[in-house]
């Protein structure tokens, strides 16, 4: 059965691995109709099969969050299938860490395009719908790097500080849309496997292997925020491994 405070779909960007995949699986098991988006549609299809086999309702659609038209197609697909969009989880992200003097400018731009612009595209695609519906919930996955800055993470942090800032601004502006920032610490996922300085990402991978949260822990935090009554807006959740300094 669908949780009573949700009539329509929960859309999740970056649902092909890590936190997004875990969130889709968890919300699907809880009875929310979920729509999974990412570029690797083979992975999305496999996750959707699993959710359906477990009795849940799930769909997927190809999505590149850097492309506003693609994000709009993703939302239109969800609206066609489920009638309304109750929740958007802006989760897609990349973290190719390096020091600024390495001038890995393509990777700076990629972080801005996916982490920041992608989140804005998601908001742009659902905000008019949610205002017309009179309700909605936008969950933005930021990071502990949205609260502190560390060497090699200057640009990544900049995108995550920005995600937290725009989330707070949207929250203040809207009496219709609930806005939640979810800021994880080290979490097991594929995040360290895509670009960045090799030695830096190896170190992050080692730390994550030693202490990282399972992605399901972040999924549980997202589910908590979504599961509140419509009058309750959980503004921010920070979830770190107990061992993280
Ligand atoms: P993963 O690499 O496992 O997942 C990232 C997801 O983003 C994938 O599903 C990927 O799918 C998707 N993605 C990347 N680029 C695009 C794009 N252009 N369009 C659509 N989807 C895209 O890492 P995580 O699960 O760790 O990352 C999820 C979020 O959590 C990110 O925002 C990350 O910054 C944040 N986070 C992670 C932490 C961690 O320690 N793991 C800590 C704090 C925050 P595909 O490649 O198929 O498109």
Model ipTM value: 0.99
CA 4 to chain centre: 23
Ligand 1 pocket test: which of 24, 48, 65, 92 has the largest number of ligand atoms within 8 Å of its C-beta?
Answer: 92
pTM more than 0.90: yes
Structure tokens at 173: 């502006």
Instruction: Please give the domain boundaries of the chain with CATH numbers for all domains.
Output: 9-238 (3.40.50.720)
Through-space distance between the first and last CA atoms of the chain, rounded to whole angstroms: 40
Q: What's the pLDDT score for residue 6?
A: 52
Q: What's the pLDDT score for residue 7?
A: 64
Point out the residues that are catalytic.
156
* Residues 18, 238 contacting (CB under 8 angstroms): no
What stretches in the chain show pLDDT beneath 50? 1-2, 4-5
Q: How far apart are CA 94 and CA 209, in angstroms?
A: 18
Place of tokens 């083979």: 42
Ligand 1 pocket test: which of 189, 201, 209 has the largest number of ligand atoms within 8 Å of its C-beta?
Answer: 189
- Strands (DSSP E) contained in the chain are 9-13, 34-38, 58-62, 85-90, 136-141, 177-184, 236-239
């Amino acid at each position: 059965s669908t949780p009573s405070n949700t009539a329509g779909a929960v859309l999740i960007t970056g649902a092909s691995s890590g936190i997004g995949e875990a969130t889709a699986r968890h919300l699907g098991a809880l009875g929310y109709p979920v729509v999974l988006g990412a570029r690797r549609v083979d992975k999305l299809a496999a996750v959707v099969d699993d959710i359906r086999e477990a009795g849940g309702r799930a769909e997927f659609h190809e999505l590149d969050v850097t492309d506003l038209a693609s994000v709009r197609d993703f939302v239109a697909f969800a609206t066609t299938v489920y009638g309304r969009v109750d929740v958007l989880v802006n989760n897609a992200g990349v973290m190719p860490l390096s020091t600024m003097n390495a001038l890995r400018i393509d990777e700076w731009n990629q972080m801005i395009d996916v982490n920041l612009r992608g989140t804005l595209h998601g908001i742009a695609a659902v905000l008019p719908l949610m205002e017309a519906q009179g309700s909605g919930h936008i969950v933005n996955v930021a990071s502990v790097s949205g609260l502190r800055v560390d060497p090699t993470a200057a640009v990544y942090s900049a995108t995550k500080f920005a995600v937290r800032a725009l989330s707070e601004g949207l929250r203040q502006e809207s009496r219709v849309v609930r806005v939640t920032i979810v800021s994880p610490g080290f979490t097991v996922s594929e995040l360290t496997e895509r670009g960045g300085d090799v030695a830096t990402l190896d170190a992050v991978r080692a730390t994550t292997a030693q202490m990282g949260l399972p992605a399901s822990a972040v999924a549980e935090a997202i589910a908590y925020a979504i599961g509140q009554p419509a009058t309750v807006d959980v503004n921010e959740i920070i979830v770190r491994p107990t061992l993280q300094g």
